[in-house]
Amino acid sequence: MRVQNMFSVAGPQAERIAELWWITFAICLVVFAAVLVATGLALWKGRKGTGSGHGAHLAVASAVGVSTVLLLFLIVASVATDRALAQIDASDALKIEVVGNRWWWDIRYQDPDPSRRFTTANEIAIPVGRAVELTLRANDVIHSFWVPALHGKKDLIPGRTATLTLRADKPGTYRGQCAEFCGVQHAKMALFVYALPAQEYEAWAEQQRRPAPPPADGPQQLGHDLFVKGTCAMCHAIQGTPANGRRAPDLTHFASRKTIGAGTVPNDPQQLAVWISDPHAVKPGVNMPAHAFLKREELAALVAYLGSLK
Amino acid sequence: MNPLLERTWRDTGFFSAINHKTIALRYIVTSFAFFVAAGILAALMRLQLAVPENDFIGPDLYNQLFTVHGTAMMFLFAVPVMEAMGVYLVPLMVGARSIAFPRMNAFSYWVFLFGGVMLFGVLALNIGPDTGWFSYPPLAGPEHSPGKRVDFYAQLITFTELAALLVAIEIIATAFKMRAPGMTLARMPLFVWAMVVTSFMILFAMPAVMFASTALIADRLVGTHFYNPAEGGDAVLWQHLFWFFGHPEVYLIFIPALGFMSSIIPTFARRPIFGYPAMVLALIATAFLGFGLWVHHMFAAHLPELGKSFFTAASMLIAIPTAIQIFCWIATLWTGRIVFRTPLLFVLAFFFILVAGGLTGIMVASVPLDLQLHDTYFVVAHLHYVLIGGAVFPLFGAWYYWFPKFTGRMMSERLGQWQFWIAFIGFEVAFFPMHTLGMDGMTRRIHTYPEAMGWGAANFISTVGALMIAASGVLFIVNVVRSYRRGAPAGDNPWGADTLEWATSSPPPSYNFDRIPVLGSEGVVVTGLAEKSREVLITTVVDAMPDHRLAFPNPTIWPFLSAVAVTVMFIGSIFTPWAVVWGSIPIVVGVTLWFWPRKDETREHLALEKRP
């Protein structure tokens, strides 16, 4: 299974990098073999004491010359690839702001029209074949955005803004994770990119722009009330409700996401109940406090309400 | 054996010892102990990662383990052990009675020891640093790492850098001013050249990290904002300062190992080294280039693209000096008459492991490739190939090679060969799979990973390899202990080597040489050094012409006591800035008494003065 492999490429940039890798690898392999063969021969000759010094200076000098030429070639290949990576047509790029937090990703879809902006977390849907311009920022410490199927890494550094432009040419789900050590739960800071055909993407985005659906039944209503009047709303936001916290993932369309806790566990009612009552059992050190004080029916109501936020 | 010289030069008392061989052996044994301790931490990490979703070690402890592993391996093992080998060998190789500034040497050892004990002490108390050996702010800053953990890290750096800087100064002074008459620079052994180059690199690299760690601790303790972007500081400043030291540091470890290679290969090829001038120039070129590639650790941080290309070029071109040396060694072996002994075996592993590591280094020097490989297990594999293949294997070779000189006894060949093969195979089993893990997306510094990632099998294999490496370490310790007790007597020069350390007894007497050796002239030149007082011969830098006699200090306890005072000040400053004020007073007292002239010594020296 190759979930996060740099050779399972889905975009032009990852493809260029993989090509460069194979060129470099081939040259290095030849050099490695040559050095080993030369060492082996030297040991064989030296053991018998039959190696003559005749031409040794010339041999060493030519080996150095060949190494230099190969290295210069690799430098040129590397710089050329680097330039190619930057030359992606971003004129109609979809603009997304990605903000790194310990230990989750805040994903904010930009639009000139403010009513068309929306926010999600840890899962990014993008249209296939269209460039995406990611603006990368960090709220607390340095993180690094990395989805190997699409492109290399780019750091998210507090106090600085970086951009990363990429494109997916194949529909699919591509996993990535934070690549710069960011503290106790660095291991559990994954993200997913869903490359969707253009129409599907538009449908998804339209859905995400809507406010959350109102509670449909009694338990959902109880869950809604607990959410907006309790501690949840201090950190989380749900558009269309008074909950407007900005310190934790926006949950407006929480039920449309596949995982909880930045890829830590699958998003299903059992896992969600465990996560709400004791997130530290799943992801020790996470900033969300435990809610073991909730009564069983309250917990069930919250799970039911969050599960309705398609 | 000259009893008068022995009485003059021998150490008095454990804490006042200043003989360079005594201090060097303590340095070597201590840094080896830290190596073993940091290796145990690595084994624990490997056990945690052996299977997916393991809960053997939690994230908090895991982060302490990898931080202390990296910090200890770099600051408490790799650099100090190389310097310690230099402290032992450089004076012998240049034909001197002592290392320059022997009291400072003792002081350096004690500071190093106390710093290392502090690091492992706080780990044992479960308050070890947990932000990585690179400790990037803002993660390592006051807001995101409250408590004292990172302060211990920052002060450890201050401890070890102080110790390293002092040794660098001693080695440069010894190699440049204390060579035996006739040992011109062009005749200086390659290991001494390697140590000189390393020492100069230390002088230029260490101040950067000492400033960086001092600024970090100031941010943490007294509220400065060097690294705080919200107040006009810059998080990336640390990265520049740290890697301006951190990349040369790799060469501080690697260049002495090149010196081992150039000592051991000619001995067992039974011919002088091929291409001596090229070898020397390659060492110097490595040192210069080594300062021009720190940014390749920061390709993923957004820096100007043109600048990155420059660092790609420098990072790739540094392969050339190393290639020159490798080709010269191959030529030496090719034209020699080889005898296979354990030291040569360890040294030959270099060709297999370091060359592979150097080639993966060329890969990660390329910006596009590094963007994929950076901070993955590919880099973990690369750096262990370079450091273990390029430094640790040659270091083991060096230990087998010079153990007879250190102790007067040979190490067991049979155990040595067993150790070599277990270490070599264990190394490949442990680290080769990490290349594929990295390309398969496994990032560094993660305490666990989901089963669905498909990394389980390679990680399990890697853990098996790590345990094999541990077994080879045990075998080495057994070999050392057994050989030390009842190894075959070595004689002065068991390998038939041609450098000066083999021209005296094994182990060498406290004064190193009965008569100061003279190179390149027939017969013995009487240098006229006093025997009842500690006198050394100072020679000119380039030609090593005798210049003057210099009186050297006697053993004293003040370096030890000064080191204690410095330790109290450093550790105290973690808890209160006032420790810097009050803690300075005992240091001043200690250092003053250290340099206080003694009447009887001065009288003795004056009596030896020859009036013109």
Q: What is the dihedral angle through the alpha carbons of B142, B145, B149, B152, rounded to the nearest 10 degrees?
A: -40
**Distance of residue B435 Cα from the nearest chain A Cα, in angstroms:** 12
Nearest-CB residue to B366 (from A46, A74, A158): A74
Selected residue of A13, A74, A156, A160 to mutate for chain B interface (largest B Cβ count, 10 A): A74
CA nearest neighbour of B396 among B323, B482, B475, B325: B475
The identity of residue A282, as a single letter, is V
Pick the residue from chain A with its C-alpha nearest to B59.
A184
Q: Residues A67, B323: contact at Cβ < 8 Å? A: yes
More confident residue, A298 or A49: A298
Selected residue of B54, B133, B150, B334 to mutate for chain A interface (largest A Cβ count, 10 A): B334
Q: What is the DSSP string of B255-285?
A: HHHHHHHHHHHHHHHTSPPTTHHHHHHHHHH
- Asked if the domains at A94-209 and A218-307 fall in one CATH topology, the answer is yes
Dump pLDDT digits (tens) for B56-102.
999 999 999 999 999 999 999 999 999 999 999 999 999 999 999 99
Average pLDDT rounded to a whole number, residues B384-412:
96
Pick the residue from chain A with its C-alpha nearest to B377.
A179
Instruction: Determine whether the interchain pair A60/B324 forms a contact, defined as Cβ–Cβ distance below 8 Å.
Output: yes
Dump pLDDT digits (tens) for B128-178.
999 999 999 999 999 999 999 999 999 999 999 999 999 999 999 999 999
Q: Does A58 touch chain B (CB under 8 A)?
A: no
Among B145-154, B191-200, B397-406, B521-530, the minimum mean pLDDT is found in: B521-530
Q: What is the pLDDT of residue A53?
A: 75
Dump pLDDT digits (tens) for A133-189.
999 999 999 999 999 999 999 999 999 999 999 999 999 999 999 999 999 999 999
Dump pLDDT digits (tens) for B448-464.
999 999 999 999 999 99
CB contact residues (below 8 A), chain A span 221-280, against chain B:
263
More confident residue, B605 or B478: B478
Show residues of chain B in contact with A182, CB under 8 Å. 139
* Token pair recorded at residue A229: 């009047």
Which pTM does this prediction carry?
A: 0.95
Q: Is 90 exceeded by the pLDDT of residue B1?
A: no
SS3 content of chain B, % helix, strand, coil (to 5): 70, 0, 30
The identity of residue B142, as a single letter, is P
Among B546-550, B559-563, B607-611, the minimum mean pLDDT is found in: B607-611
CB contact residues (below 8 A), chain B span 447-506, against chain A:
447-450, 452-454
Q: If you count them, how many residues does chain A have?
A: 310
Average pLDDT rounded to a whole number, residues A206-232:
94
Cα(B565)–Cα(B583) distance, integer angstroms? 7
**Local structure of B513: helix, strand or coil:** coil
Q: Does B274 touch chain A (CB under 8 A)?
A: yes
Q: Is 90 exceeded by the pLDDT of residue B505?
A: yes
Q: What is the pLDDT of residue B521?
A: 65
Q: Residues A28, B319: contact at Cβ < 8 Å? A: no
Average pLDDT rounded to a whole number, residues B337-364:
95
Q: Does B428 touch chain A (CB under 8 A)?
A: no
CB contact residues (below 8 A), chain A span 110-149, against chain B:
140-142, 144, 146, 148
Enter the ipTM.
0.96
Q: What is the pLDDT of residue B525?
A: 59
Pick the residue from chain B with its C-alpha nearest to A154.
B300
Dump pLDDT digits (tens) for B252-273.
999 999 999 999 999 999 999 9
Average pLDDT rounded to a whole number, residues B100-119:
97
Q: Is 70 exceeded by the pLDDT of residue B379?
A: yes
Nearest-CB residue to B302 (from A31, A86, A160): A160
Q: Does A67 touch chain B (CB under 8 A)?
A: yes
Distances (CA, A) of B89 to B92, B101, B514: 5, 15, 17
Q: What is the pLDDT of residue B65?
A: 97
Distances (CA, A) of B82 to B24, B222, B369: 10, 36, 32
Q: Is the peptide bond before B207 cis (omega within 30 degrees of 0)?
A: no
Q: What is the pLDDT of residue B527?
A: 61
Dump pLDDT digits (tens) for A89-136.
889 999 999 999 999 999 999 999 999 999 999 999 999 999 999 999
Q: What is the DSSP string of A186-245?
A: GGG-EEEEEEE-HHHHHHHHHHHHSPPPPP-SHHHHHHHHHHHHSSHHHH-B-TTSS-B-
Show residues of chain A in contact with B450, CB under 8 Å. 263
* Token pair recorded at residue B167: 């040794």
Q: What is the dihedral angle through the alpha carbons of B417, B419, B420, B425, rounded to the nearest 10 degrees?
A: 130
CB contact residues (below 8 A), chain B span 57-86, against chain A:
58-60, 63
* Token pair recorded at residue A73: 């070639």
Q: Is 70 exceeded by the pLDDT of residue B523?
A: no
Q: Does A210 touch chain B (CB under 8 A)?
A: no
Nearest-CB residue to A153 (from B138, B348, B374): B374
Show residues of chain B in contact with A179, CB under 8 Å. 300, 374-376, 443-444
How many Cβ pairs closer than 8 A exist between chain A and B?
Answer: 245
Output DSSP code: residue B443: B
Output DSSP code: residue A291: -
CATH fold of A94-209 reads Immunoglobulin-like (2.60.40)
Cα(B59)–Cα(A39) distance, integer angstroms? 44
SS3 content of chain A, % helix, strand, coil (to 5): 40, 20, 40
Q: Residues B149, B129: contact at Cβ < 8 Å? A: yes
Cα(A55)–Cα(A49) distance, integer angstroms? 16
More confident residue, B597 or A23: A23
Q: Is 70 exceeded by the pLDDT of residue A1?
A: no
The residue extents of the domains of chain A are 12-86, 94-209, 218-307
Interacting residues of B236 by C-beta distance below 8 A, sequence separation 6+: A157, A160, B298, B301
Show residues of chain A in contact with B312, CB under 8 Å. 75, 78-79
What's the burial of B54, exposed, middle or buried (CB within 10 Å: 0-12/13-18/19+)? middle
Q: How far is CA B263 from the centre of its chain?
A: 17
Q: Does A175 touch chain B (CB under 8 A)?
A: yes
Q: Does A60 touch chain B (CB under 8 A)?
A: yes
**Distance of residue B389 Cα from the nearest chain A Cα, in angstroms:** 14
Q: Residues B506, B408: contact at Cβ < 8 Å? A: yes
Q: What is the pLDDT of residue B522?
A: 55
Q: Does A286 touch chain B (CB under 8 A)?
A: no
Instruction: Determine whether the interchain pair B441/A5 forms a contact, defined as Cβ–Cβ distance below 8 Å.
Output: yes
Q: How far apart are the first and last CA of chain A?
A: 30
Q: Residues B94, B40: contact at Cβ < 8 Å? A: no
The H-or-E segment that residue A104 falls in is strand A104-109
Q: Residues A127, A94: contact at Cβ < 8 Å? A: yes
Q: What is the pLDDT of residue B612?
A: 66
Q: Is 90 exceeded by the pLDDT of residue B603?
A: no
Selected residue of B335, B364, B428, B435 to mutate for chain A interface (largest A Cβ count, 10 A): B335
Nearest-CB residue to A184 (from B59, B365, B453): B59
Dump pLDDT digits (tens) for B460-484.
999 999 999 999 999 999 999 999 9
CATH fold of A218-307 reads Immunoglobulin-like (2.60.40)
